[in-house]
Amino acid sequence: MLKLTVKKHELIFKQLAGTSRGTLRSKPSWFFILIDSEKHSNISIGECGLLTGLSFDDKSGYLEKLFQIVQSVNQKQSLETKIDLSEWPSINFGLEMLKKDYYSTKDKILFDTEFTNHSYKIPINGLIWMGEKKFMFDQIKLKIDEGWSCIKLKIGAIDFEEEIELIKYIRAQFGIDELELRVDANGAFLPTEAKEKMKILSDYDIHSIEQPIGAGQEYKMAELCDNPPLPIALDEELIGVIDMHKKQRLLKLIKPQYIILKPSLIGGWNSSEEWINIAKQHNIKYWATSALESNIGLNAIAQWTATLEKNLIHGLGTGQLYTNNIDSPLQASKGYLSYEKDKNWLFNI
């Protein structure tokens, strides 16, 4: 007998997480928890990771939709529901995750790859959160001392000149062959200033800039992506674009150099792979990124990421942001995320 429940888990940051949209102290996630009384195995879990103010489905009716799924599964005794989740990307991904976990023959092994077999580590960037100059400087120094070869710096919250000083400091210590630098503006630049700021950034061998201007300004973004001073990666621009034809139109119009795939924000693995297929048609590159999920969601995204091209540095989390995360075999060190054979899952939700 199948019994599905849903439980909220408020993830608490170890330190304040600054973005151009404000400072985060906690982040809610909802877990689908499935028990099958006829299966002698661990529970199956799927995470619905919501980012307040950013997720397309951060709106009225979220809890009702979660419980609608719970009711459907428990009544029909099946995970194959006909409930339309096209407007609820994080819930759709949570359900995708749950199904993959339930039908897996190995506990929490959603994709059986070299990653889960412990012979491949996923290259990832180290994330520098926004904050006061000294706070950001200390984060940068720590990452460099730890041996990370790619750093992503969130910009747009403090004075631009101070941010340039930080970037200048990094480049004075490490050249382009030693350290890859990415910046994420989270839409903080005005369209009228974006190109000039990008030109200044380009003096420091920046790999790319994520979302220089706010989402929804398609024609202005297209202008920026036409021979830009440094490569542009679309991030928030993809959120809420559900229909296949709209996805095709967006990439054909803007022609970015990269797109960033966050399954929790764009509807899961299937939707992400649609974006990848369209991007390839237009010679657009990509990488995968988590979106502050717990280790449940991070595990699902990492295992899927391991099925993609191997020569990419992805933006996956480290699993070390929260005081109350779920203990897992995931381990981040020196720019790589690995699945450790001597570590186990420990659920405290």
Q: Would you tell me the crossing angle of helices 89-103 and 269-281 to the nearest 10 degrees?
A: 110
Which residue type does 9 have?
H
Nearest to 247 by CA among 209, 282, 221: 282
Candidate list 262, 280, 285, 341, residue with the active-site label = 262
Note whether 128 and 144 are within 8 A (CB): no
Q: Distance (Å, rounded) from C-alpha 206 to C-alpha 282?
A: 23
H-helix or E-strand spanning residue 142: helix 133-146
247: annotated active-site residue: no
Q: Distance (Å, rounded) from C-alpha 62 to C-alpha 65?
A: 5
Note whether 50 and 297 are within 8 A (CB): no
Q: Which residues contact 41 (CB under 8 A, 6 or more apart)?
A: 107
Q: Distance (Å, rounded) from C-alpha 47 to C-alpha 90?
A: 8
Q: Distance (Å, rounded) from C-alpha 320 to C-alpha 13?
A: 9
Candidate list 27, 100, 108, 154, residue with the active-site label = 154
154: annotated active-site residue: yes
Q: Which residues are catalytically annotated?
A: 154, 262
